[in-house]
Amino acid sequence: MSNYDVTIIGSGPGGYVAAIRCAQLGMKTALIEKYSTLGGTCLNVGCIPSKALLDSSEHYHNAVHNFKEHGIDVKDVKANIKQMIQRKNDVVAQTSNGVKFLMDKNNIDVHHGMGSFIDKNTIKVTADDGTETSISSKYIIIATGSKPNFFPGMEPDKKRIITSTEALNLQEIPKKMLVIGGGVIGLELGSVFARLGTKIEVVEFAKTIIPTMDSTLSKELTRVLKKEGFKFHLEHRVQKVENKGKGVVLTALNKKGEEVTMDADYCLVAVGRKPYTAGLGLENTGVAVNDRGQVEVNDHLQTSVSNIYAIGDVIRGSMLAHKAEEEGVYVAEILAGQKPHINYNLIPGVVYTWPEVAAVGKTEEELKAEGRTIKVGQFPIKALGRARASMDTQGVVKVIADAETDEVLGVHMIAARAADLIMEAVTAMEYRASAEDISRIYHPHPTYSEAVKEAALAATENRPLHV
């Protein structure tokens, strides 16, 4: 039996980052991963492969639609989906190997196999060939992540009715794809295929797409994606999806309660993800799980069993890689006797469409519901010189500040490079900056960041300079 100070189950961004921080803090650390590659959902079938395909499809889209105006004549531009998938696989392999390198560098023992609790300090690891190893550990961190969710009638068969995992490996460009769910996965992967020529129809239960984000963003993104050819069926309740061999047929009820049917080559089910604890043997430990399947944790991310902690998608909160990573660092530092801090109010959210959508803090709707008196400043991207130079003129930046104190309470943007731009707002808000603070610092010209300054000017004194 091997003995460790800390053992982490799951090698996603939560688990592998927790392992590195534990090792940095001098703990003898083990990492258990059931798959042969490290990195979890994010590196293998999530963040990294989706961004690889988003970037490839964006290059193709630009070559077809924008090169000519830039003065670049290209003939016979073709999308080679097999090469795109191959490049994506190479990027995933490099990134996952990078995690393996980091484990070796930090002297972390990696055990490949399914981890299952025998009791609160002992884990059995069962490798693919059936070999069993026992691990004893003072502390254990559960970082087992999540799996795609679905509802009755839309069970993925992984052939025509697919999840993000299969969509990231399609070997053909479908003529038409139905997407159930107008959230992050539906719109990102929908964008990949729309740019390659697939007709995308989104069937969404809510009144808007990206329903949890500020309504300014959902309105603008709807407009942008419609121009890309997306069709939206909002307020539609899916009844069933059937694989008909060469395609699918979806039946839904519209908001009037009428039955509508749609057909397509594929149906992507993207209605959220659910925590994953199957086979973990939690019943042998007494670790409590709530009715949503999440491992219950207290403010220190400690489960109902004092030596067992949990982080990432398997617990409450947003299902984001950077949230999982911060929680991994947080628990490692707690175990080392430190007093770390984690701020759940300022987790940035990004949708990697083009232009990108990014936000931090509260939405206008949330602040109004709370009865806060606020000031809102907006700046259209098309008013930027930089945007015209690069032909990326769609979008808007919105800064929301407290009406009395001018403290920034939320920043919401849809703009080229918004995924990177949002970090200015995260930093400013972490230091409790006012809109005036943002408006009075240098923003390099010409950049998209000038839109953040202008929106802050609009919020603080209603005096943007360039509109």
145 binds ligand FAD (CB under 6 A): yes
Closest CA to 62 of 70, 290, 304, 172: 70
111 is catalytic: no
- Name the amino acid, one letter, at 461: E
- Spell out, one character per residue from 102 to 141, where the chain touches ligand NAD: x when CB under 6 A holds, - when not: ----------------------------------------
- Spell out, one character per residue from 163 to 202, where the chain touches ligand NAD: x when CB under 6 A holds, - when not: -----------------xxxxxxx-x--------------
The Cα-based distances of 445 to 386, 448, 463 in angstroms read: 8, 8, 19
Specify the DSSP element, H or E, that contains 324. Answer: helix 321-335
Considering the candidates 65, 70, 300, 445, report the single residue annotated as catalytic. 445
**Least distance from ligand NAD to the Cβ atom of residue 347, Å:** 10
Residue 184, Cβ density class (10 Å: 0-12 exposed, 13-18 middle, ≥19 buried): buried
Strands 146-148 and 273-275: antiparallel
Nearer CB in complex with ligand NAD: 238/376: 238
321 binds ligand FAD (CB under 6 A): yes
**Least distance from ligand NAD to the Cβ atom of residue 270, Å:** 4
How many of the chain's residues bind ligand NAD (CB under 6 A)?
25
Cα separation, 216 vs 455, whole angstroms: 14
Cα separation, 264 vs 201, whole angstroms: 9
**Least distance from ligand NAD to the Cβ atom of residue 209, Å:** 7
Q: Which of 7, 15, 84, 140 binds ligand FAD (CB under 6 A)?
A: 15
320 binds ligand NAD (CB under 6 A): yes
User: Would you say 238 and 250 are in contact if contact means Cβ atoms under 8 Å apart?
Assistant: yes
Identify the three-state secondary structure at position 453.
helix
Strand partners, 286: none
- Spell out, one character per residue from 342 to 381, where the chain touches ligand NAD: x when CB under 6 A holds, - when not: --------xxx-----------------------------
Identify the three-state secondary structure at position 356.
strand
Residues 172-191 that bind ligand FAD (CB under 6 A): 185
**Cβ-proximal residues to 13 (8 Å cutoff; 6+ apart), any chain:** 39, 40, 42, 43, 312, 321, 322, 324, 325, 328
464 binds, among ligand FAD, ligand NAD, none (CB under 5 to 8 A by kind): none
- Measured between its terminal Cα atoms, the distance across the chain in Å is 69
Specify the DSSP element, H or E, that contains 298. Answer: none
Structural tokens at position 291: 């009715």
Q: Which of 19, 22, 161, 319 binds ligand FAD (CB under 6 A)?
A: 319
Cα separation, 236 vs 206, whole angstroms: 8
**Least distance from ligand FAD to the Cβ atom of residue 135, Å:** 11
12 binds ligand FAD (CB under 6 A): yes
**Least distance from ligand NAD to the Cβ atom of residue 14, Å:** 13
Residues that bind ligand FAD (CB under 6 A): 9-15, 32-35, 40-42, 46-47, 50, 114-115, 143-146, 164, 185, 276, 279-280, 312-313, 319-322, 324
Residues marked active site are found at 445
Residues that bind ligand NAD (CB under 6 A): 151, 180-186, 188, 203-206, 211, 238, 270-273, 318-320, 350-352
